[in-house]
């Protein structure tokens, strides 16, 4: 098996501390406190906190966040994700889109990423709440851009169209990992080709809309497999491709197989650019929504 050794990787045996390039600052500062207070006051969830994102301090300190709608309980159990798993039993907060739009207005955001837990307990997978959130933001903050990061809706393209008809500025859905590792890394209901079909349909629905996907690296994928995933994404018109280092949230989650060096991430960025993507974001701390506004512009 050929590992990601374009330049160098650091194999991660058990209990190995993170390399220096993965060290992040602790959250602090007025802007961080302002975002935290607003999110708490309006009763909103953020993927920043729920997924233990390493960029929380940087993004909240810059006054931005990724809002996670439809509650904090996911119906799926992906082996990399720290979001709580369970059965929300069909509960939906129909006023949540209004509160999200109020946060965008009050915090002066001009670009927001909206994501959600998977809601397989709902007939539409939560698509209508996504659509209502997009429309509420556009109504309360004219000119604001909205990027959505959705699930696969079990492959239901009619549910996906509910979201797309609300006209998000960027549509994102993550492959998460390469084809071979998908059954081990993601929930059994999440399939590689199903994710490709979601991204393909989103592009066909509105060719002028940017589409986006992301990979986590360090799970044992090979360089060849990463390049194949790039080619698969580009072949269906994906515009923005991001890559970041997988970090194990807890001992019950998948272990890190290797820490990919910043130099290797840069090599992968150059490779991605050569494939014709509109934008490639690739670094150890990159996440799907990291510097999303800059990638859009």
**pLDDT tens per residue, range 154-186:** 999 999 999 999 999 999 999 999 999 999 999
Q: What pLDDT does residue 63 have?
A: 46
Domain assignment of residue 177, yes or no: yes
What are the backbone dihedrals phi and psi of residue 66, each rounded to the nearest 5 degrees, phi first? -110, 115
Domain assignment of residue 193, yes or no: yes
Domain assignment of residue 213, yes or no: yes
User: Hunting for tokens 């060096």 — which residue is that?
Assistant: 261
Domain assignment of residue 4, yes or no: no
Domain assignment of residue 258, yes or no: yes
Domain assignment of residue 2, yes or no: no
Q: What is the pTM (predicted TM-score) of this model?
A: 0.86
Cβ atoms within 10 Å, residue 79: 12
| 186, two tokens | 């993601």
Show the beta-strand stretches assigned E in 12-140: 45-46, 66-69, 73-74, 84-85, 111-116
Q: What pLDDT does residue 235 have?
A: 98
Coil, helix or strand at residue 104: helix
For the chain, how many structural domains are there in total?
Answer: 1
Domain assignment of residue 1, yes or no: no
Domain CATH code at residue 229: 3.20.20
Low-confidence residues of the chain: pLDDT under 70: 1-16, 24-65, 288-297
Q: What pLDDT does residue 2 have?
A: 39
Q: What pLDDT does residue 158 have?
A: 98
Q: What pLDDT does residue 67 have?
A: 85
Q: Which domain holds residue 104?
A: 9-296
Q: What pLDDT does residue 23 have?
A: 72
Q: What pLDDT does residue 94 have?
A: 96
Q: What pLDDT does residue 18 have?
A: 81
| 61, two tokens | 């300190």
Domain assignment of residue 231, yes or no: yes
Q: For 129-167, b where at least 16 C-beta lie within 10 A, e where not — what string? A: bbbbbbbbbbebbeebbbbbbbbbbeeeeebbbbbbebe
């Amino acid at each position: 098996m050929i590992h990601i050794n374009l330049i160098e990787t650091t194999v991660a045996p058990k209990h190995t501390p993170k390399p220096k390039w993965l060290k992040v600052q602790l959250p602090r500062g007025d802007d961080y406190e302002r975002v935290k207070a607003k999110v708490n006051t309006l009763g909103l969830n953020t993927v920043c906190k729920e997924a233990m994102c390493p960029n929380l301090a940087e993004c909240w300190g810059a006054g931005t966040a990724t809002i996670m709608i439809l509650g904090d309980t996911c119906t799926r159990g992906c082996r990399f994700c720290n979001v709580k798993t369970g059965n929300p039993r069909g509960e939906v907060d129909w006023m949540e889109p209004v509160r999200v739009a109020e946060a965008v207005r009050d915090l002066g955001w001009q670009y927001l990423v909206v994501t959600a837990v998977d809601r397989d307990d709902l007939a539409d997978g939560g698509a209508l709440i996504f659509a209502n959130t997009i429309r509420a933001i556009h109504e309360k903050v004219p000119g604001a851009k909205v990027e959505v990061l959705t699930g696969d809706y079990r492959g239901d393209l009619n549910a996906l169209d509910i979201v797309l008809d609300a006209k998000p500025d960027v549509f994102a859905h993550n492959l998460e990992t390469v084809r071979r590792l998908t059954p081990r890394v993601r929930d059994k209901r999440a399939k590689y080709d199903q994710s490709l079909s979601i991204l393909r349909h989103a592009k066909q629905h509105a060719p002028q809309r940017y589409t986006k996907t992301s990979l986590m690296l360090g799970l044992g994928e090979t360089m060849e497999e990463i390049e194949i995933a790039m080619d698969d994404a580009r072949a269906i018109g994906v515009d923005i491709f991001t890559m970041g280092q997988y970090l194990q949230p807890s001992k019950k989650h998948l272990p890190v197989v290797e820490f990919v060096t910043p130099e290797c991430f840069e090599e992968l960025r150059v490779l991605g650019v050569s494939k014709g993507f509109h934008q490639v974001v690739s670094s150890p701390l990159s996440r799907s929504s990291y510097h999303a506004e800059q990638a859009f512009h």
